[in-house]
């Protein structure tokens, strides 16, 4: 078996966000190095003698992808989700080595709460009595490793979801839709504009033994209103989607949003006001989760 090798070049400011998204979208490994050896001797990541966290000025990110993955679709998804500036530095094929074992070791079970775990298929659940959502890295965002996904999962895990009709907008891998179902929501619905994500979410639902419905946006029934909507995207798309999400929410229904940096909170609050007053309910590594209830007139 062989793997596809991509090398991207970007600025130091884009590295962290890009690395997280590359992993979430199914990169089997992600390695950051100085671009073409520039600044290779400069200390980074708080090495001895330089306690400040820093990266090289110009970086390259080397990633391995499954051989069968469509790299053009993968790169388009990275552009759409990251909104970072980067270039494709090189492409190639890497011959067979024991990469599967090495890369699987990068993905360990994730404890969202003591009673909710995200467990890759090759691992035995650490807590068999917990809710164990089986999910492998794939071609859609959402494995539980990114702070924004964890924020949404934590929020869902503390809610009484029984009898609630929930929409996961921008569902990616379907992780939040699946979690809502496993936590008691009757048949939650997922929506994503990426057809690959919709197919991936359906496969993940089957893997977890849950019968769920996933749509592309134009397939979502127009007359349908929801008791709650959760959306883990990014700030600019969330601002553009504000009228649609408010329209899809019944009066008195709840709205929970993530994919938002702490510095972007006021922009999101303004976009959803006055129909829905949003407040910060959790934060993780500079990202926040906002929650509010649609006004009843």
- Asked which of 6-15, 90-99, 222-231 is least confident by mean pLDDT, the reply is 90-99
- List, in order, residues 6 or more apart from 180 with CB less than 8 Å away: 156, 161, 166, 168, 188, 230
Strand-pairing partners, residue 29, are 64
Are 129 and 261 within one domain? yes
Looking at per-residue pLDDT, the higher value among 43 and 215 belongs to: 215
- Asked which of 61-65, 113-117, 172-176 is least confident by mean pLDDT, the reply is 61-65
Are 92 and 120 within one domain? no
Query: What CA–CA distance (Å, rounded) separates 167 from 254?
Result: 11
How high does pLDDT run on average in the chain? 87
Domain of 247: which CATH number? 3.40.50.150
Q: Which of 237, 199, 190, 185 is nearest to 217 (CA)?
A: 190
Are 117 and 54 within one domain? no
Specify the number of domains making up the chain.
Answer: 2
Query: What CA–CA distance (Å, rounded) separates 162 from 98?
Result: 45
Looking at per-residue pLDDT, the higher value among 55 and 181 belongs to: 181
CB atoms within 10 A of CB 171: 31
Q: Can you give the pLDDT at residue 148?
A: 94
- In this prediction, residues 108-125 reach a mean pLDDT of 92
Domain end among 56, 88, 104: 104
Q: Can you give the pLDDT at residue 36?
A: 62
Query: What CA–CA distance (Å, rounded) separates 155 from 140?
Result: 21
DSSP 143-155: SS-SHHHHHHHHH
Are 155 and 41 within one domain? no
pTM summary value: 0.69
Domain end among 104, 121, 149: 104
Query: What CA–CA distance (Å, rounded) separates 265 from 136?
Result: 31
Asked if residues 261 and 287 have their Cβ atoms less than 8 Å apart, the reply is yes
Query: What CA–CA distance (Å, rounded) separates 276 from 253?
Result: 10
Are 135 and 218 within one domain? yes
Q: What is the pLDDT of residues 260-274, one digit of tens each?
A: 999 999 999 999 999
Q: Can you give the pLDDT at residue 41?
A: 39
Asked if residues 39 and 56 have their Cβ atoms less than 8 Å apart, the reply is yes
Residue 46: pLDDT band with limits 50, 70, 90: very low
Query: What CA–CA distance (Å, rounded) separates 99 from 89?
Result: 22
Cis status, amide bond into 274, omega within 30 of 0: yes
Domain end among 104, 137, 169: 104
Q: Can you give the pLDDT at residue 143?
A: 82
Q: Can you give the pLDDT at residue 93?
A: 83
Are 75 and 128 within one domain? no
Are 171 and 90 within one domain? no
CB atoms within 10 A of CB 215: 16
User: Helix, strand, or coil here: 14?
Assistant: helix
Q: Can you give the pLDDT at residue 43?
A: 39
End-to-end CA distance of the chain: 61
Are 151 and 275 within one domain? yes
Are 63 and 149 within one domain? no
Tell me which residue range forms the domain holding 70: 3-104
Query: What CA–CA distance (Å, rounded) separates 186 from 136?
Result: 24
Give residue 41's Cα distance to chain centre. Answer: 34
- Asked which of 135-149, 155-169, 201-215, 231-245 is least confident by mean pLDDT, the reply is 135-149
**Look-up of token digits 């001797």:** 41
Are 235 and 254 within one domain? yes
Domain of 53: which CATH number? 3.30.70.120
Q: What is the pLDDT of residues 126-180, one digit of tens each?
A: 999 999 999 987 656 778 888 999 999 999 999 999 999 999 999 999 999 999 9
Are 139 and 232 within one domain? yes
Asked if residues 30 and 22 have their Cβ atoms less than 8 Å apart, the reply is yes
Are 84 and 118 within one domain? no
């Amino acid at each position: 078996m062989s793997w596809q090798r991509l090398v991207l070049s970007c600025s130091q400011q884009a590295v962290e966000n890009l690395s997280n998204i590359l992993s979430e979208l199914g990169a089997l490994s992600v390695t950051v190095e100085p671009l073409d050896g520039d600044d290779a001797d400069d200390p980074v990541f708080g090495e001895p003698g330089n306690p400040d966290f820093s990266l090289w000025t110009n970086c390259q990110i080397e990633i391995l992808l499954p051989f069968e993955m469509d790299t053009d679709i993968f790169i388009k998804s990275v552009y759409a989700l990251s909104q970072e500036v980067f270039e494709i530095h090189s492409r190639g094929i890497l011959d067979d080595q024991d990469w599967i074992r090495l890369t699987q070791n990068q993905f360990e079970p994730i404890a969202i709460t003591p009673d909710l775990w995200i467990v890759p298929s090759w691992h035995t659940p650490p807590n068999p009595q917990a809710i164990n959502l089986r999910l492998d890295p794939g071609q859609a965002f959402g494995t539980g490793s990114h702070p924004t996904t964890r924020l949404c999962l934590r929020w869902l895990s503390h809610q009484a979801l029984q009898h609630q009709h929930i929409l996961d907008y921008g569902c990616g891998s379907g992780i939040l839709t699946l979690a809502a179902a496993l936590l008691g929501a009757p048949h939650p619905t997922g929506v994503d504009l990426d057809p690959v994500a919709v197919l991936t979410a359906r496969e993940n639902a089957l893997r977890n033994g849950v019968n769920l419905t996933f749509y592309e946006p134009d397939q979502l029934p127009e007359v349908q209103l929801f008791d709650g909507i959760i959306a883990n995207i990014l700030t600019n798309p969330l601002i553009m989607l504000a009228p649609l999400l408010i329209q899809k929410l019944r009066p008195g229904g709840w709205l929970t949003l993530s994919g938002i940096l702490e510095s972007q909170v006021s922009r999101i609050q303004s976009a959803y006001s006055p129909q829905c007053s949003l407040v910060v309910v959790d934060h993780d590594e500079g990202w926040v989760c906002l929650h509010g209830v649609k006004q009843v007139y």
